[in-house]
Every structure is written in structure tokens, then in C-alpha cells.
Amino acid sequence: MKFNLVENAKDSLDHAIENIIDTSRPRDGCLKRVIQSLSHAVELVLKERLVREHPAFVYTKVDQYPTNDALTVTTDLAVQRLERLVGLTLERDDKKTIESSRKKRNVIEHFEFEIPTKEAEVIIGRLLSFIIRFSKEHLDLDWQSELLTNPCWPELKKYSDFWDVHSQKVIDRLYDLDFDECPICLLGSFDIEELQCQLCGHKDAYIDCIGLCKEEFLESLGEEIGNYELCPSCVRADAAAFNHEKY
């Protein structure tokens, strides 16, 4: 069995699509596999872009290139290198999509989990839309045309459209004090009174950061450190300090 990065990513995308349109099996299992496969594809397309810049960039420690068993980058580090070393600019929403795909895949693979169907569909739409755009813009791969000729395209399009269609409608709410950005939709649709997103139904809670900032943040955005949680900016500060020591 031999797959290069692009073939491997494409295989994961195909696998996701088979599961999206498969109505013969329980829906929850299919959605779980779709999120896993799409997250896998995201990781691989990011790595492919690094490899095209230089094959060593895909290794956590670049000087271990060309050892085949050396550790390869996490998606976080891949994004960081794409921006700092390759000079690519990823939009804030795309970075959030990559981040949430990593988290969802992690809980699916290592913990008990519950993802409401609507949330799962929003995440799938964001991941699909990202993979198709990124592979076209940065890897010159036209996976979209192939999808367009897929007889199941209308079904697939429902997922990738959700995001685009709704983003304009609720974007104004970002300026409304009673609403916050939903960690799932990334739109200003999270009702801070009801603690629920009015668009995808995502429920969340505000907790206090135990890091330096001590500020309130939405629980699902944090990173668990033992029994405590750090807010995203303290996690980033922490990671930056850690990386700094290492190099």
C-alpha cells in the first residue's frame, strides 16, 4: 500500500463523502467518520503545502530530515510554519476551522463524546469548504470540479453552503452586546443569556481562565490542563514560551 500526501488526503476526502451520502447506516456513526476523515484530510493538505516549500518543513525537528520515522508537525505547528516560513496568510476563520477540527478529532479518538447533529453538520460544512478552497488556492488541485460531477453533489452542497449562506445573515450580531461568537459557527449567533447558539444550537458555558488573564471565556474554546482550563490566548502564550525555550 502506498499513498503520497495528496493521494492520502484525497482518499480521506472520498471516504468522508461516501459517509455523508450513505443513508444505509446509522447517521451518528457516519457523521463521526466524516469528521475524522475530513480532519485527517485537513492535516494532510497543510503538510503537503509545507513539503512543497521544503520537505524538511514537515518534520517537527527540521534537522531530522530525511529520516522517515521522525515526528511530523501537528496542525498547529503546520499553520505556524505556513504563515511564518512560507509566507502564506490564513484567514482567522480558517485557522479556527483547523483548530476545531483538531479538537473534535481528538475527542472522537480519545474520549467519550457528544456532538449534537446540527453542530456536526456545521463543522463538516466548514471543513469541506476549507479543504476545497485550500487545495485549489495553495496546491492547485481541482477537487471541486470532481465534486460537482458527483451525482450526490446536491446533498454535499447542503453542508458546505450552510456556512456561506448563514454567515452574512448573522454577521451583524457580532456588534450586538447580547451575542458572542459561536465557537462552532464562528458567527455572532451565541446568545450569552441562553448560553446557546441560535443558529446551530451549540450549548456552552463561561468559565474563568486560570492563566494570567483571569478572564471569562467559553469553555469549549479552552484547553484542559489537568482539572483546569486555560483560555485560548493563554494557551497560545504558553505554547509560544514553550517553543521559545526549545529553539
The binding site for Zn ion (CB under 5 A) comprises: 182, 184-185, 197, 199-200, 202, 209, 211, 213, 231, 234
Q: Decide: residue 126, CB within 10 A, 0-12 exposed, 13-18 middle, 19+ buried.
A: buried
Using the minimum distance from each CB to Zn ion, give the nearer residue, 107 or 148. 107
Rounded Cα distance, 210 and 204, in Å: 18
Minimum gap (Å) between residue 30 Cβ and Zn ion: 21
Minimum gap (Å) between residue 209 Cβ and Zn ion: 3
Minimum gap (Å) between residue 225 Cβ and Zn ion: 11
Rg over alpha carbons for the chain, rounded to the nearest Å, is 19
Using the minimum distance from each CB to Zn ion, give the nearer residue, 57 or 159. 159
How many residues belong to the chain? 247
Rounded Cα distance, 1 and 14, in Å: 17
Using the minimum distance from each CB to Zn ion, give the nearer residue, 105 or 202. 202
26 phi and psi, to 5 degrees? Answer: -55, 135
Task: Work out the number of other CB atoms within 10 angstroms of the CB of residue 169.
Answer: 11
Give the helix, strand, coil percentages of the chain, each rounded to 5: 60, 10, 30
What's the grid cell of residue 246? 526549545
Using the minimum distance from each CB to Zn ion, give the nearer residue, 209 or 221. 209
Using the minimum distance from each CB to Zn ion, give the nearer residue, 8 or 100. 100
Rounded Cα distance, 186 and 184, in Å: 6
The whole-angstrom distance between residue 111's C-alpha and the CA centroid of its chain comes to: 18
Using the minimum distance from each CB to Zn ion, give the nearer residue, 14 or 223. 223
Using the minimum distance from each CB to Zn ion, give the nearer residue, 58 or 235. 235
**For residue 95, what is the DSSP state?**
H
Q: Decide: residue 14, CB within 10 A, 0-12 exposed, 13-18 middle, 19+ buried.
A: middle
